[in-house]
Amino acid sequence: MRTEIATLGEFGLIHRLTEGVHPQNASTRYGVGDDAAVLSYPAGKEVLVTTDLLLEGVHFDLTYVPLKHLGYKSAVVNFSDIYAMNGTPKQITVSLGISKRFSIEDMDALYAGIRLACETYGVDIVGGDTTSSYTGLTISITCIGEGEPGKVVYRKGAKETDLICVSGDLGAAYMGLQLLEREKAALQGADKEIQPDFGGKEYLLERQLKPEARKDIIEKLAQAGIQPTAMMDISDGLSSELMHICRQSNVGCRVYEEHIPIDYQTAVMAEEFNMNVTTCALNGGEDYELLFTVPIGDHERIAAMEGVKLIGHITKPELGYALITRDGQEFELKAQGWNPLQEKAE
């Protein structure tokens, strides 16, 4: 069944998509339904705000991305930015640019993913906007969160001798994207009855299509009494993000190839594509893991923390950004991660 969006109109569509949305957070005084949401953050809290803009054909391809997954991912990547500040996401606004090829049922699926993410992470949808688009689907989400004064973590706080840590594993989302792109190319012009075989590669697809924000790592750090000195999430690739931290902190770094966490499926897929798996882990992006630095005195507590890996240390700025390979060679770390503003080759 397909129902044209025009049959509902803008306000009818917003009502349908947000019907039954009830605030979960005390800081949400009034959500969807008026000219503006009303938020009230208690004294002694710092308010964090982040925005992501996602464009069809640039950030996602609906040939292989289900709309429900896209909705979930669109929300989660914003939550990840708040967690990367050592904060807690509380509210989002959702704005959509929709072309005529999308139906009401399509928007139901997209919003089902957004609502699921909000329910999972305890975040309120408090507003947004919809408009027509001539260029496919556009999604803009703004997330508002809270942080404790003195505990919000910036990119600029890394100090010489700090330890460099990452959560989870790296490169899987990028390999999932390569797999989806390969199958898309193979199916173009092929028999429509042929179905791609993703057996044994489910983890890679999940990392690309349905990433999770590392709320659990933020909670573990707090429980262990560890305050990161600098932190960000890995959206554009480990090397790119680490260089952001180093530049803003005016420090150098040494990262050890043998300590970069890589899942078995990622390694197998990289070999199948004849790619260097370390390069994929350094530059792939979209892992939404946390990259952070901690004082060297926290070594034992960090080393004992499940889901966190020590990959190197911060150095003097004049020593630059170095990758130490498995055989002990030293290379300059380069930011080759995804750049949405880079012009595509003709």
Q: Which two tokens stand for residue 137?
A: 């689907």
Which among 185, 230, 248, 175 has a CA at the least distance from the CA of 205? 175
Confidence band for 176, pLDDT divided at 50, 70 and 90: very high
Q: Which two tokens stand for residue 270?
A: 């990289």
Mean of the per-residue pLDDT values of the chain:
92
Give bridge partners of residue 305 from the DSSP assignment. Answer: none
Determine what percent of the chain is predicted with pLDDT higher than 90.
77
Per-residue pLDDT, 343: 53
Superfamily of domain 5-147: PurM-like, N-terminal domain (3.30.1330.10)
User: Per residue in 309-329, is it b (16+ CB within 10 Å) or e — as a string?
Assistant: bbbbbbbeeeeebbbbeeeee
Confidence band for 339, pLDDT divided at 50, 70 and 90: low
Confidence band for 345, pLDDT divided at 50, 70 and 90: very low
Judge contact between 49 and 88, C-beta under 8 A. Answer: no
Domain chopping of the chain, boundaries = 5-147, 163-332
Per-residue pLDDT, 186: 78
Which among 156, 157, 153, 167 has a CA at the least distance from the CA of 86? 153
163-332 matches 5-147 in CATH topology:
no
Q: Which two tokens stand for residue 241?
A: 């993000």
Distance of CA 291 to the CA centre of its chain: 12
Q: For the chain, what is the radius of gyration of the CA atoms?
A: 21
* Separation between Cα atoms, residue 217 and residue 191, nearest integer Å: 45
Query: Has residue 246 got a pLDDT over 80?
Result: yes
Per-residue pLDDT, 191: 58
280: number of Cβ within 10 Å: 24
Q: Which sign, positive or negative, has the C-alpha torsion 127, 125, 17, 134?
A: positive
Per-residue pLDDT, 346: 37
Which among 131, 128, 42, 127 has a CA at the least distance from the CA of 88? 42
Q: What is the pLDDT of residues 282-301, one digit of tens each?
A: 999 999 999 999 999 999 99
**Parallel, antiparallel or unpaired: strands 230-233 and 308-315:** unpaired
Phi/psi-derived region of residue 66, left when phi > 0, alpha when psi is between -120 and 50, beta in every other case = beta
Confidence band for 340, pLDDT divided at 50, 70 and 90: low
163-332 CATH, one of 3.40.30.10, 3.30.420.40, 1.10.3720.10, 3.90.650.10: 3.90.650.10
Question: pTM for this structure?
Answer: 0.92
Per-residue pLDDT, 2: 80
Low-confidence winner among 2-16, 94-108, 167-181, 254-268 (lowest mean pLDDT): 2-16
Q: What is the pLDDT of residues 40-95, one digit of tens each?
A: 998 889 999 999 999 999 999 999 999 999 999 999 999 999 999 999 999 999 99
Query: What does the pLDDT average to over 325-346?
Result: 72
Per-residue pLDDT, 163: 98
Of residues 277 and 194, the one with the higher pLDDT is 277
Query: What does the pLDDT average to over 20-49?
Result: 89
> 3-state secondary structure string, 10-76?
HHHHHHHHHCCCCCCCCCEEECCCCCCCEECCCCCCEEEEEEEEEEECCCECCCCCCHHHHHHHHHH
* Separation between Cα atoms, residue 277 and residue 268, nearest integer Å: 9
Of residues 226 and 190, the one with the higher pLDDT is 226
94 CB-side CA count, 13 A = 27
Per-residue pLDDT, 318: 97
Determine what percent of the chain is predicted with pLDDT higher than 70.
94
